[in-house]
Amino acid sequence: MYKIMGIHFTNWAWLYSPLSFFMRIRVYPKSVSKETFFNQHNGKAIVYVLPRMSVMDTIVLNKTLKTFEQKKISTEAKPKRFRHAALLAIKSGSLLFSNSYKDRFLSDFVKLIKNDPRAKNEKLVFIPVSIFWSRAPERNEKGFLLKSLFPDDGTGNALQKLFMLILHRGEVNISFGKTFNSPNIEFGLTEKSELTSENQDQDYEYARRMRRQFNIEFAKERTAAFGPTLYDNEKICQWILSTSTTKKFISSSENPLKTEEQIVKYIREIGANYNYVTVRALEKFFDFIWTKIFEGVRVRNFEHIERVAKDGQIIWMPSHRSHFDYLLLSYVLFKKGFVVPHIAAGINLNFWPIGSILRRGGAFFIRRSFSGNKIYAHTFSEYVNFLLQNSFPVEFFQEGGRSRIGKLLTPKMGMLNICVQSIIKRKSENTYIVPVYFGYDKVMEDDSYAKELKGAKKQKENAFQFLNGIRKVFTNYGSVDVSFGDPIKIGDIWQEYNEKVRKEIPADLSINELLPYHLKDLPDNFDTRDPQIQSLVKYISKRVNQRINCAATASGTSILASCLLSQQSNKINFEELQYQTILLNYLINIFNKKINWKLSTSLEAEHIFEYLTSYLSQFENSVSEKGNNFNLSNTNLPSIHNLSEQTFAMGLRWKLMNKETNQENKTEYIRNEEKEMNLWWYRGTIFHILAPFGIIAQVLLNSKEEERTPQKIEFTISSIRRIWQDELFWDSKTSSNLISSSCLNIFENLGLIKQIHSESEDKIRIEISNNAKKLETLEFLSRFIRPEVELYGILMATALELVKSKGVFSRDELIQKTITTHSAAFLRTIAFQPPIFSKVFSQRAFDSLYKAGIFTPRENQKLSLNISNVAGFSLFLNVTQWTDFVS
């Protein structure tokens, strides 16, 4: 029995029970709720396993169970002694108060499993429970007095826990680990009648294995919540200077002493100074700030991350849209019960007072360019290796900087390369990369992005800019979505990459020269600078961007911006804009279900499909006055009305559009030309989601009737996704066939098209609806991709003309000529987008085409065209239309 000074623990609980009124308990994982707990364990007896017997811990556990409407613990786990819930502890308790110092877990566990009939019927489960009275990570330099007051290993007695309860104002954290079923079958515990000395030893061995499983679960929970032991910069310097790679680097330098001094200097420039007190202060600060800046912070798709974060080391790789990104992610993770990661921040943020605060919050600083500084490059690489080798979670943005165009930027692979090399050296297959998508209703920096796109220079961050930005704290930016993509396990992506390479073995490699299929089989002396590893890093970076885009959340602002920029004029009436925004909302959500990504919209409503079909039915015969007067206020769909009201309110609040009443007393919205580049930013965040609908709509509208087939649609999708891979970053595991067929089925359900099976020709042809409104809907969707079609078409037409006239061309020559061609076409009103579009995006378009193999290198840094690769998309881009403007 669990006794303290000869008194049963339940009797001691009466003494401590008043403390429960002051306890504010945080339950982790957050997905655990009253409903999920009941559904998972209904009809089963539960044994709660603690790492150490503690009356204070049982009070916390019982209060939590009460909120879940579960039976509280009143006895220890003994056969036939409890009905619903009982307690089992790995260790009996603290040495000071325990009446039993020996380890009783093994005997109690074996007796329970052998003698309780519920164990044989799989009606008995074990749940490890971790209770943390503080989340301060252990520090190696902590003195004896602090260790006595704040023990880091969970061995605190009642007095110490009471002290921490007061210090943390009643906050206690409880975490429920993985549920273990009764192990009597899989562990083969023997019946009582068959008991022998040999069987008894076997039973205890099985119990030891189970104890080891519980201890592993406790360690995972603790590591996820606390992180590893923290070290000061002096210890980190000693660690880095003592590594074999650093010793070799120093000895090979011209001046070893100066090199060593420089390494120490760089470590102090780079290193974080994580401080738990600062993290807690920042948590309270942002509890207040986020409510002022945002109407809500929504976390999506986190459930599948909770288990991964406890199974292995995590590298967080988010998209980079705003300075809020790293603050938001750290805040969300801490609120979810996980340790704040160490964040790679640009050295431009290392200014007073922000630099010091960020360091204490876990930021370490990286220069924008190493510019041939080998000592700095080595020091930074070793610092990151130190973090990973000591199991610190790390966060960085592989885009290198904030996206000024809304779309994901082409990855810069320096930081990822350092991480992958460190992982490969240690053969750490159980490392996970977690992509994260940030979706803002309004991004704080959108005005500065618009100015930079128009030619203004980027402003350098400094204290004055920080003080000037404080006034924005009380400006509301709507809501923000933090959406987590599917994690990438290093061991799995290593095999995935090797399968891909083995299908397409390069001509200069034989099968024996390829990387081993499993990471664990890699030779210890393998050179991580091998070109195959560099190719693996590129593959991982692309897959990360794909997973980020697969988890995208379309904000109301991005949907509104996409609609406003797809108009043929800058003015649109209320009913039409209402229909278009709700249509895009529907397309995104239904497309997600079809292709099984993790897409979503920030604003949701019921009965969207019913509204769309009702609206389109107004135009069955012709565009009538009845159709023009269709208004949601006349329908029984209040949620739809609220959705459009919220969406339009965003556009008006942030002056993306203006509202007026025309002569017929109808409401119209006018796109704000001064905010046009802001609109382009928001459109860019969801371009990859709506692009398939635009591509298919354009093919249908521009093809002859006999050419409208699913096969042609799929071929076009395949061709375009190859040249737009950096614009789209679609999941490479999702086939073009699935994307095209899903979109066609959605179009058919809306009545925009019909897929007719011809038995005589044994093929399917697509028939476009002759309804005027449905045709107009297809035209609206096709205009969504018009800017990219124009840009890539003009670029290709310019390249073709240069090849005809000169045979070869340079990159800069092509880009400059493209801008000139675009200006000429715009002056003749053939191009819809202004020439600034080419100035901003033509370099990105060139890089995308180059990676697709459209441009082939020649001598003296000249380029030519791979004509065989052009045929698949030249008609779609309408290349011949622009050739007359290439002068």
Q: Residue 215 — φ and ψ, nearest 5°?
A: -65, -35
**Other Cβ atoms within 10 Å of 436 Cβ, number:** 26
Q: Are 312 and 487 in contact (CB under 8 A)?
A: no
Over 50: is that where the pLDDT of 73 sits?
yes
Structure tokens at 16: 């401590």
Percent of the chain surpassing pLDDT 90: 49
Three-class SS of 426-483: HCCCCEEEEEEEEEECCCCCHHHHHHHHCCCCCCCCCHHHHHHHHHHHHCCCCEEEEE
Question: Which residue type sits at 866?
Answer: N
Strands 855-857 and 863-865, bridge-based pairing: antiparallel
Is the omega angle on the peptide bond into residue 506 within 30 degrees of 0, that is, cis? no
pLDDT average, residue stretch 634-643:
75
> pLDDT (tens digit, 9 = 90+) per residue, 45-62?
899 999 988 888 888 998
- Secondary structure of the chain: what % helix, strand, coil (to 5)? 55, 15, 30
User: Which residues touch 612 (CB under 8 Å, ≥6 apart)?
Assistant: 579, 582, 583, 586, 750
Its CATH architecture, for the domain 787-885, is: Orthogonal Bundle (1.10)
CA–CA separation, 813 and 803 (whole Å): 12
Q: Residues 881, 824: contact at Cβ < 8 Å? A: no
Helical axes 256-270 vs 233-241, angle rounded to 10° = 140
**Is 723 within 8 Å of 854 (Cβ atoms)?**
yes
Q: Indicate if the pLDDT at residue 275 is higher than 80.
A: yes
Whole-number Å distance between alpha carbons of 582 and 247:
63
Which residue, among 224, 435, 402, has the nearest Cα to 317 in the 3D structure?
Answer: 435
Q: Could you tell me which residues come within 8 angstroms of residue 598 by beta carbon, excluding any fewer than 6 positions away?
A: 300, 301, 483, 485, 486, 550, 551, 592
Q: Measured between alpha carbons, how far is 819 from 847 in angstroms, rounded to an integer?
A: 16
Report the mean per-residue pLDDT for the chain: 86
Q: Is the pLDDT of residue 498 over 80?
A: yes
Please report which helix (H) or strand (E) contains residue 354, including its range: helix 354-360
Cα 771 to chain centroid, rounded: 41
pLDDT one-digit tens code per residue, 523-574: 988 888 889 999 999 999 999 999 999 999 999 999 999 999 999 888 999 9
Tell me 633's DSSP state: G
Distance (Å, rounded) from C-alpha 687 to C-alpha 352? 38
Q: How far apart are CA 282 and CA 331, in angstroms?
A: 8
| C-alpha to C-alpha distance for 694 and 88, rounded to whole angstroms | 60
- Residue 677: what residue type? M
For the chain, the domains span 3-226, 273-549, 552-784, 787-885
751 pLDDT more than 90: yes
Average pLDDT over residues 633-644: 74
User: Rounded distance, CA 707 to CA 713, Å?
Assistant: 9
Task: Decide which of 55 and 128 is more confident.
Answer: 128
Q: For the ranges 410-419, 507-516, 808-817, 868-877, which has the lowest average pLDDT?
A: 507-516
Work out the average pLDDT over 381-404: 94
Give Dmax over CA atoms of the chain in angstroms.
99
Contact between residue 451 and residue 571 where contact means Cβ atoms under 8 Å apart: no
Chain center to CA of 35: 27
Rounded Cα–Cα distance for residues 97 and 60 (Å): 19
**619 or 193: which leads in pLDDT:** 619
Quickly list H helices, 566-675.
574-595, 608-617, 625-628, 638-653
Return d(Cα 565, Cα 76) in angstroms, integer: 67
Quote the CA–CA distance of 248 and 252 in Å, as a whole number.
6
Secondary structure class of 249 (helix, strand, coil) = helix
| Residue whose C-alpha is closest to residue 874's, from 705, 724, 695, 719 | 719
d(CA 107, CA 112): 9
Find tokens 């999941």 and name the residue: 731
Task: Let me know: does 714 contact 696? Beta carbons within 8 Å.
Answer: no
Length of the chain: 887
pLDDT digits (tens, 9 = 90+) for 171-201: 888 988 888 887 644 444 444 445 455 666 7
Cα distance between the two ends of the chain: 93
Predicted pLDDT of residue 507:
65
State how far the Cα of 42 lies from the Cα of 538, in Å rounded to an integer.
48
Output 36 or 657, whichever has higher pLDDT.
Answer: 657
Count CB atoms within 10 A of the CB of residue 792. Answer: 26
Q: Is the dihedral of CA 362, 368, 374, 375 positive or negative?
A: negative
- With contact defined as beta carbons under 8 Å apart, do 693 and 716 qualify? no
User: Residue ranges of the alpha helices (H) in 751-785?
Assistant: 772-783
- So what's the pLDDT on residue 96? 42
| Cα 637 to Cα 519, 603, 625, 633, 646, distances in angstroms | 56, 15, 21, 8, 15
Instruction: Specify the DSSP class assigned to residue 71.
Output: P
Q: Note the pLDDT of residue 487.
A: 95
Pairing of strands 363-366, 180-181: unpaired
Q: Which residues contact 873 (CB under 8 A, 6 or more apart)?
A: 716, 719, 720, 723
- Residue 98: pLDDT over 50: no
What is the pTM assigned to this prediction? 0.88
The rounded distance, in Å, linking the Cα atoms of 210 and 193 is 23
Please give the torsion angle defined by the CA atoms of residues 31, 36, 41 and 46, in that order, rounded to the nearest 10 degrees: 40
Angle formed at CA 680 by CA 678 and CA 683, multiple of 5 degrees? 115
| pLDDT confidence band for 160 (50 / 70 / 90) | confident
| Residue pLDDT, tens place only, 395-421 | 999 998 899 999 999 999 999 999 999
Is the peptide bond preceding residue 29 cis, with omega within 30 degrees of 0? Answer: yes
- 623 pLDDT tier (thresholds 50, 70, 90): very low
pLDDT of residue 100: 46
- Alpha carbon separation from 830 to 784, 785, 792, 820, 883 (Å, rounded): 17, 16, 15, 14, 12
Assess contact for 207 and 110: CB atoms under 8 A. yes
Q: How far apart are CA 657 and CA 676, in angstroms?
A: 10
Please count the CA atoms within 13 angstroms of the CA of 416 that sit on its side-chain side.
Answer: 28
Check residue 55 and give its pLDDT.
82
The span from the CA of 431 to the CA of 313, in Å, is: 5
Strands 171-176 and 855-857: unpaired
Q: Which residues contact 872 (CB under 8 A, 6 or more apart)?
A: 715, 716, 718, 719, 722
Taking a C-beta distance cutoff of 8 angstroms, is the pair 246, 382 a contact? yes
| 311, pLDDT greater than 60 | yes
Cα(6)–Cα(81) distance, rounded to whole angstroms?
20
Summarize the confidence of residues 606-618 as an average pLDDT. 87
Question: What pLDDT was estimated at residue 184?
Answer: 47
Of the chain, the percentage scoring pLDDT greater than 70 comes to 88
